[in-house]
Amino acid sequence: MAIRHFLTLTDLSPEELQAIVDRAIEMKALHRQGGAGEPFRNKVLGMIFEKSSTRTRVSFEAGMAQLGGSSLFLSPRDTQLGRGEPIEDSARVISRMVDIVMIRTFGHNVVERFAAHSQVPVINALTDTFHPCQLLADIMTYQEHRGSPRGKVVAWVGDGNNMCNSYINAARMCDFTLHIACPEGYEPDEDVLAAAGDRVKIFRNPKDAVSGTDWVATDVWASMGQETEQKEREKAFKGYLVDHPLMAHANKDAIFMHCLPAHRDEEVSSELLEDESISVVWDEAENRLHAQKALMEFLLESH
C-alpha cells in the first residue's frame, strides 16, 4: 500500500478530512477527561524545523507525549542537513529510524522530495506555499463554534501567502465560498487558485470581500523569509487592517481567526484580537494540538 503523506489538504479526501476533524474534537474531550490512552506507545516523530516555531513545535511534541510516543527536534544547525546533506539522503536515513516525520521548511519541493524518499508518512508543518496543519485546526475551530463550514462564506484579508493557499484548498475540501482581499502583486498561487474554480473570488477592497461573510481570517503581511520586505509590504497593505469597523461588514455571528503570531495593529487591531466574542484565536491555537494528534493517528494507522 502506498504511504500516505500530508503535504497539502488535498492529500486527503473530503470525507477523510471530516473524520480527522471529528476525531480531533473527540481527542480534545478525551484529553479534558484525563487522556486518550497510549496509541502512540513506542512511536517516534522526527521533527525537522528549518524555520522558527512556537505553536507547531509545542503542539506536535505535546501531542506525541500525551499519546505515549516521543519526538525528536531536528534543526539544520545541529544536523547534517545544515551542512548540505541532500534531503533525499536525509529522508532515507531518518525514515528508517522513526515512524512519522514532520517538516517545516522554505520551498514546498523540499517536503515533496523528502516524502518521495521516505519510508514513513511525512507531514508538512509549513512551507512557503502551504500550511495545511493550521487549516485542520481552523476548520475544527469553526466547527466547534458554528458547526459545519459547508456552504458558508469565508473572507481572507491580506497576503496571498501559504495560509491563503491553504484556505483556497479548504474551500474546495469543505465546499465553502472564499473571498480573498489582497493588493495587486500579492495574489495567491495561480495553480492553486485555478484548481478551486469560481468558489474563490479575488477582491481589492477588504470591505467588499468581508461583506456577508461568516468567518474572517488574516495573517502577517511579511511571512518568515520575507523580513527584508517588511517596509515595502507595510505600504502595499495599507488599508488591509482587520478591525471592528471592518468586521461590522461581515454577518452578525461572524468569527475571526489568525494563525498567530500576530502583529498587533498591523494586520489586526489589538481590540479585535482580544475581543473573545468575535476572535477565536486562542481556541484556534489550542486546536493545533488535538487536530495533529488526530492527523498522526490517521497517518500511522494507514501506514
Which residues participate in catalysis according to the annotation? 104, 131, 134, 219, 259, 288
Compute CA distances 120 → 48, 80, 87, 156, 189, whole Å.
14, 20, 15, 34, 28
Calpha distance 125→7 (Å, rounded) = 8
**Of the two residues 40 and 130, which places its CB atom closer to ligand CP in the complex?**
130
Letters for 163-182 (x = contact with ligand NVA by CB under 6 A, - = none) are x-------------------
Radius of gyration of the chain (CA): 19
Nearer to ligand CP, 66 or 134 (CB): 134
- By CB under 6 A, tell whether 111 contacts ligand NVA: no
Q: Is 220 one of the binding residues for ligand NVA (CB under 6 A)?
A: yes
Residue 8 in contact with ligand CP, rule: CB under 6 A: no
Kindly state the smallest distance separating residue 241's Cβ from ligand CP, in Å. Answer: 20
- Please state the closest distance from residue 56 (CB atom) to ligand CP, in A: 3
Does the protein bind ligand NVA through residue 224 (CB under 6 A)?
Answer: yes
- Measured CA to CA, the distance from residue 57 to residue 45 in angstroms comes to 11
Question: Across the chain, which distance is largest between two alpha carbons, in Å?
Answer: 54
**Which one of ligand CP, ligand NVA, none interacts with residue 54, CB within 5 to 8 A by kind?**
ligand CP
Q: Of 56 and 129, which CB lies nearer to ligand CP in the complex structure? A: 56
Rounded-to-integer distance, Cα 274 and Cα 294, Å: 28
Whether 96 has a binding-site annotation, put simply, is: no
Minimum CB separation from ligand CP for residue 32, in Å? 22
70-74: strand order across its sheet: 70-74, 44-49, 100-104, 122-124
| CA 145 to each of CA 25, 39, 139, 283: distance values in angstroms, whole numbers, following the listed order | 11, 28, 10, 10
SS3 letters for 71-105? EEEECCCCCHHHHCCCHHHHHHHHCCCCCEEEEEC
In the complex, minimum distance from the CB of residue 109 to ligand CP, in angstroms, rounded to a whole number: 20
Residues between 44 and 103 that touch ligand CP (CB under 6 A): 53-56
What would the grid cell of residue 106 be? 522554505
Exactly one of 154, 174, 222, 259 binds ligand CP (CB under 6 A); that residue is 259
**Interface characters, 114-133, with ligand CP (x: CB under 6 A):** ------------x-------
- The Cβ of residue 43 has, within 10 Å, a number of other Cβ atoms equal to 19
With contact defined as beta carbons under 8 Å apart, do 287 and 28 qualify?
Answer: yes
> For ligand NVA, which residue of 71, 141, 161, 287 counts as binding (CB under 6 A)?
161
259 is known to lie in a ligand binding site: yes
CA-to-CA distance for 123 and 102, rounded, in angstroms? 4
Residues that bind ligand CP (CB under 6 A): 53-56, 126, 134, 259-260
Residues that bind ligand NVA (CB under 6 A): 126, 131, 161-163, 219-220, 223-224, 259
Known binding residues: 53-56, 80, 104, 131-134, 162, 219, 223-224, 259-260, 288
